[in-house]
Amino acid sequence: MHSTLISAPELQRLMDSGAPLRIYDCSFDLMDPQAGRAQYETRHIAGAIHADLDTHLSDKAGPDRASGGRHPLPSRERLARWLGRTGLTPGVQAIVYDRQGANYCGRLWWMLKWCGHEAVAVLDGGLQAWLEAGGATDSGPGPALPDEAAAYPLGPARVGTASTREIASRIGEPGLTLIDARANARFRGEVEPLDPVAGHIPGALNRPFSENLGPDGRFKPAEQLRAEFRALLGQRDPATVVHHCGSGVSAIPNLLAMEVAGLGTARLYPGSWSEWCNTPGVPCARSQVPA
């Protein structure tokens, strides 16, 4: 079973073995929400199902959504219905990938674990690594999903979350360490292209999610990731970490990297900055540019 990362050669061996698999292409573009579907239809791993951030992995209108922010989590029950339509069942190995440095596929990796599914892995290096390895691809709309199917049977969540209320009540406590995955300039509050307020949650540390990848687009070795997170955390306990970003999406590569590094499974603040900065009464901070 693969539960964090899988390499392109490892995926090819699984496919050759005939083992049951479900592969999901999560390609997306925040600035052009239709681009991900177009990228998928142009080229995707043979047999992959398209998972759209806005359509499948968020719920912007449902009364039972599980978080706030720009990309609210759907309820586990709503997600389970879609997973059932894709044919996923407990124990089947799920593989997720994108073209954007694991920025979007990490969302589904985390959400599957949130539903209780452990056998899910991110394709290290994404579609680019698959193409480099000579993997087979398809084009077009992909497999047709049935209108109705048995929902995925939910199990106990394998990942944890933090709420705005909890974070607001615990800012400054040594038992809470916030790590913000947005780019440095957004974290400092110099620019804010997406949300109405610039800045960050007071006391948060900053590690842009792209820092987890090497020049080849793959995750850095576990030892290197461990050293970098240890340097960031200092004396803070990794078990106290809650990851966040703009809307609960790009934080997950940091969460995944900590798990790859052997530092445990940290929690996620799904609403992230987009929920925080729209919550009346909570404090917001800005930083000076380092000298």
Catalytic residues, which ones? 245
Q: In what order do the strands lie in the sheet containing 241-244?
A: 205-206, 177-180, 241-244, 267-268
Residue 230 half-sphere exposure toward CB, CA atoms < 13 A: 9
Tokens found for residue 199: 């800045």
